[in-house]
Chains A and B, each alone.
Chain A
């Protein structure tokens, strides 16, 4: 670093104490396809807008089964996301081998958060993907979001990707814990529609408290 200049390595704290590379990664995520998750006490739904790359090319799957009781979706660079999905699947199976039970969703989100956090410590490119994880465990239905900084939070609704603030606004205005499954699915669809201003092609996945099983809807 030159003394007296404003230059600093992009992987380190900026003058305002912010991690510039984390912000760049978040910016990349905000250009990804709009993706939402909604949870009530009885179920959690994941929905992601699928953009076909061009004619004659099949679109990517955006809803991923992580284990029998959990699934995830996300937004950002698809290859980065796929790597994080692998990590989630690995952690789930390791937990089963270690302690003989399905991983709880908090621990699952924490583990992938720790994996991402490692990247923020070094001069490497961060995975530019945000995940939304849905699952059911001994303590009920959970929904988590994990960011490129490794930060994870639990909540009733999340949105990531293009115009996610608009999608989230729409969900916040119309959310209720008493929402039925079909209503919640419509809410997710409407939220994405509001964000991208057109009727979206959506991929959907869900878990229900009763059945304890993640289902990918085609």
Chain B
């Protein structure tokens, strides 16, 4: 019950989400946070069970901190996605899956965009959406995405995709949040 969108360009990555948190047919919050900062260069958008998603974000933050301290340089975006996928996979294999999926966006040696699912699979993407509104968002993304998009254009496309989903998906609504991570990191 969410719409999240991620777009990768040569100048950076964009994440967008709606702000609705639902409990069945009840709107539990109209100002839910679905995009989380992991560090100045990495962010995650979440879909699914909020408690599971927040737990995994906190877990990966702690693991990344320890790895950064040990080896002296920050984990890459792929390594971050891998850490989340590890937990997801072991959850699935022990019959206690984390009911959350992620879009991991960031910049290391270049802009990166990954999606991870409940099974622990990681896929690199140039644009991606997740949540109940994603089929509608994909309609916009498929017609508007191009690998030549500027960062500003990508921001507009991401926003449009979430807005379209909010019009027709009852699980999504209450406004759009957009996060941009340009090459060089968040200023």
Chain A contacts to B: CB under 8 angstroms:
98-101, 104, 106-107, 110, 138-139
Contact = CB atoms under 8 A, between A and B. Distances in A.
Contacts of B62: none
Interface residues of B, number: 12
Nearest to B63: A99
Interface in B81-129: 82-83, 86
A101 B71 contact: no
B24 interface: no
B78 A101 contact: yes
A105 to B, nearest CB: 9
Contacts of B73: 104, 138-139
Given A98-B86, A99-B82, A100-B82, A107 B76 contact: no
Contacts of A138: 73
B175 interface: no
A45 B73 CA distance: 25
B71 A99 contact: no
Contacts of A110: 70
B109 to A, nearest CB: 9
B170 interface: no
Contacts of A98: 82, 86
B70, B71, B86: which has the most chain A beta carbons within 10 Å? B71
Contacts of B75: 99
Given A98-B86, A99-B67, A106 B72 contact: yes
Contacts of A139: 72-73
Given A100-B78, A110-B70, 10 more contacts: A98-B86, A99-B82, A99-B83, A100-B79, A101-B79, A101-B82, A104-B71, A107-B70, A139-B72, A139-B73
Nearest to A111: B70
A139 B67 CA distance: 15
B41 to A, nearest CB: 14
A100 B79 CA distance: 6
Nearest to A106: B71
Nearest to A101: B79
A48 B70 CA distance: 30
A139 to B, nearest CB: 6
Interface in B137-183: none
B28 to A, nearest CB: 35
B126 to A, nearest CB: 20
Closest 9 CB pairs of A and B: A100-B82, A99-B79, A104-B71, A107-B71, A99-B82, A101-B79, A106-B71, A100-B79, A100-B78
A54 B102 CA distance: 62
A52 to B, nearest CB: 40
Nearest to A138: B73
